[in-house]
Amino acid sequence: MAAREAFVTLATNDSYSLGALVLGHSLRNVGTTRALHVLITPGVTQAMRTQLSKVYDVVTLVDVLDSQDEANLALLSRPELGVTLTKLHAWNLTTYTKAVFLDADALVLQNVDELFDRDELSAAPDVGWPDCFNTGVFVFRPSTQTFHALIEHAVQKGSFDGGDQGLLNSFFSDWATTDIRKHLPFIYNMVATVVYSYAPAFKEYGKNVKIVHFLGSTKPWHQQAGPSTGSSAVLGNFLQMWWDLFNSHVRGQLEGNLAGLAGSF
Amino acid sequence: MAAREAFVTLATNDSYSLGALVLGHSLRNVGTTRALHVLITPGVTQAMRTQLSKVYDVVTLVDVLDSQDEANLALLSRPELGVTLTKLHAWNLTTYTKAVFLDADALVLQNVDELFDRDELSAAPDVGWPDCFNTGVFVFRPSTQTFHALIEHAVQKGSFDGGDQGLLNSFFSDWATTDIRKHLPFIYNMVATVVYSYAPAFKEYGKNVKIVHFLGSTKPWHQQAGPSTGSSAVLGNFLQMWWDLFNSHVRGQLEGNLAGLAGSF
Ligand SMILES: O=c1ccn([C@@H]2O[C@H](COP(=O)(O)OP(=O)(O)O)[C@@H](O)[C@H]2O)c(=O)[nH]1
Ligand SMILES: O=c1ccn([C@@H]2O[C@H](COP(=O)(O)OP(=O)(O)O)[C@@H](O)[C@H]2O)c(=O)[nH]1
Ligand SMILES: [Mn+2]
Ligand SMILES: [Mn+2]
- Whether B198 sits inside 8 A of A129 (CB atoms) is yes
CA distance A254 to A208: 33
Chain A closest-CA separation from residue B48 CA (Å): 33
pLDDT of the residue at A176: 98
**Which ligand 1 atom sits nearest the alpha carbon of residue A103?**
20
Residue A189 in contact with residue A215, Cβ under 8 Å?
no
Chain A closest-CA separation from residue B151 CA (Å): 20
Residue A194 in contact with residue A127, Cβ under 8 Å?
yes
Pick the closest to residue A185 from B26, B32, B246, B178 (CA basis).
Answer: B178
Instruction: Summarize the confidence of residues B27-43 as an average pLDDT.
Output: 97
Could you give the C-alpha distances from B181 to A19, A202, B112, B170, B185, in angstroms and in order? 37, 25, 15, 19, 9
Query: Which of A 196-215 lie inside 8 A of B, CB atoms?
Result: 197-198, 200-205
pLDDT of the residue at A65: 38
CA distance A194 to A202: 8
pLDDT band at residue B66 under the 50/70/90 scheme: very low
pLDDT of the residue at B216: 86
pLDDT of the residue at B73: 53
Mean pLDDT of chain B: 88
Q: Does position B28 have pLDDT exceeding 70, yes or no?
A: yes
Position with higher pLDDT, B224 vs A247: A247
pLDDT of the residue at B261: 75
**What are the helix (H) ranges across chain A?**
14-29, 46-55, 64-67, 69-77, 82-88, 144-157, 164-171, 194-197, 199-205, 233-245, 256-259
Which value does ipTM take for this structure? 0.92
Q: Does position A201 have pLDDT exceeding 60, yes or no?
A: yes
pLDDT of the residue at B241: 95
**Element of type H or E holding B27:** helix B14-29
**Considering chain B, what percentage of its residues have pLDDT values greater than 70?**
86
Longest dimension (CA), chain A: 50
Q: Does position A165 have pLDDT exceeding 60, yes or no?
A: yes
B126 touches chain A (CB under 8 A): yes
Query: A54-68, A96-110, A121-135, B219-233 — which is least confidently predicted?
Result: B219-233
pLDDT band at residue B161 under the 50/70/90 scheme: confident
pLDDT of the residue at A70: 55
Instruction: Please count the helices (runs of H) and the strands (runs of E) in chain A.
Output: 11, 9
Q: Does position A187 have pLDDT exceeding 70, yes or no?
A: yes
Position with higher pLDDT, B37 vs B236: B37
Q: How far, in Å, is the centroid of ligand 1 from the Cα of A10?
A: 8
pLDDT band at residue A77 under the 50/70/90 scheme: low
A80 touches chain B (CB under 8 A): no
Q: Does position B263 have pLDDT exceeding 70, yes or no?
A: no
Q: Does position A171 have pLDDT exceeding 70, yes or no?
A: yes
User: Nearest residue CA, atom 11 of ligand 1?
Assistant: A215
Instruction: Summarize the confidence of residues B171-190 as an average pLDDT.
Output: 98
Q: Does position B246 have pLDDT exceeding 80, yes or no?
A: yes
Pick the closest to residue B142 from B60, B69, B31 (CA basis).
Answer: B60
Residue B105 in contact with residue B20, Cβ under 8 Å?
no
Q: Does position B178 have pLDDT exceeding 90, yes or no?
A: yes
Q: How far, in Å, is the centroid of ligand 4 from the Cα of B103?
A: 5
pLDDT of the residue at B119: 98
Q: How far, in Å, is the centroid of ligand 2 from the Cα of B167?
A: 15
pLDDT band at residue B97 under the 50/70/90 scheme: very high
Q: Does position B168 have pLDDT exceeding 80, yes or no?
A: yes
- Whether B183 sits inside 8 A of A205 (CB atoms) is no
CA distance A108 to B24: 48
pLDDT of the residue at A74: 57
Q: Does position A123 have pLDDT exceeding 80, yes or no?
A: yes
Residue A239 in contact with residue A10, Cβ under 8 Å?
no
Query: A26-40, A229-243, B220-234 — which is least confidently predicted?
Result: B220-234
Q: Which of B19-23, B158-162, B215-219 has the highest mean pLDDT?
A: B19-23
Contacts of B264 by beta carbon, 8 Å cutoff, 6+ apart: none
pLDDT band at residue B80 under the 50/70/90 scheme: low
Please give the distance of CA B162 from its chain centroid, rounded to a whole number: 17
Instruction: Summarize the confidence of residues A221-242 as an average pLDDT.
Output: 74
Pick the closest to residue B205 from B213, B216, B214, B195 (CA basis).
Answer: B195
Instruction: Summarize the confidence of residues A31-48 as an average pLDDT.
Output: 96
- Whether A201 sits inside 8 A of B128 (CB atoms) is yes
